[in-house]
């Protein structure tokens, strides 16, 4: 009889749909975090978006750095918080990109070539790999 009087879906249908969306969101978070974590790296973008320095995100940063963020993601509130963090990080990244491109083209106009060669790129990559490996060494100690 309900379907004749109401066009809205049943509560159990809505709850099932929400579970599917949450499951998809958790898999997407798992993909974004990967093996090294993503959220804790976004903390370095606070210069370009002060909202990233809010204490609201401290738990996500800590769990991401410890590589245990998926254990923390238990309900829709934490999933929304992660989404908010990613939106704020994306804003910061766009500002960083804009600043970089402006300075890059200004340097080109002045006759500077601020690109790096392969040797410098490999040194930079090695230093980044060392800095990523440090938290693992600290955890083993």
Q: Where are the domains of the chain?
A: 2-140
pTM above 0.95, yes or no: no
Confidence of residue 134 (pLDDT cuts 50, 70, 90): low
> Could you tell me where the beta strands, DSSP code E, fall in the chain?
none
Instruction: State the CB neighbour count (10 A cutoff) for residue 118.
Output: 7
3-56 pLDDT per residue, tens: 677 778 888 999 999 999 999 999 999 999 998 889 999 999 999 999 999 999
Angle ∠(128,64,86) on CA atoms, nearest 5: 90
78: exposed, middle or buried (C-beta count within 10 Å: 0-12, 13-18, 19+)?
Answer: middle
**Closest C-alpha among 90, 79, 97, 83 to residue 42:** 90
- Nearest-angstrom CA–CA distance, 124 and 99: 21
What tens digit of pLDDT does each residue of 50-101 get?
999 999 999 999 999 999 999 988 889 999 999 999 999 999 999 999 998 8
pLDDT over threshold 80, residue 114 = no
Helix (H, G, I), strand (E, B) or coil at 119: helix
Phi, psi of 58 (to 5 degrees): -60, -40
């Amino acid at each position: 009889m309900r379907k004749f009087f109401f066009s809205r879906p049943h509560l159990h249908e809505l709850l099932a749909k929400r579970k599917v969306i949450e499951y998809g969101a958790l898999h997407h978070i798992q993909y974004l975090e990967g093996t090294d974590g993503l959220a804790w790296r976004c903390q370095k973008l606070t210069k370009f978006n002060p909202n990233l320095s809010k204490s609201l995100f401290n738990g996500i940063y800590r769990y991401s750095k410890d590589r245990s963020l998926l254990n923390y993601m238990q309900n829709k509130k934490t999933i929304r918080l992660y989404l908010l963090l990613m939106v704020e990080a994306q804003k910061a990244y766009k500002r960083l990109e804009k600043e970089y491109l402006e300075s890059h083209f200004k340097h080109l106009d002045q006759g500077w070539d601020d690109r790096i060669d392969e040797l410098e790129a490999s040194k930079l990559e090695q230093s980044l790999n060392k800095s990523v490996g440090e938290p693992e060494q600290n955890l083993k100690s």
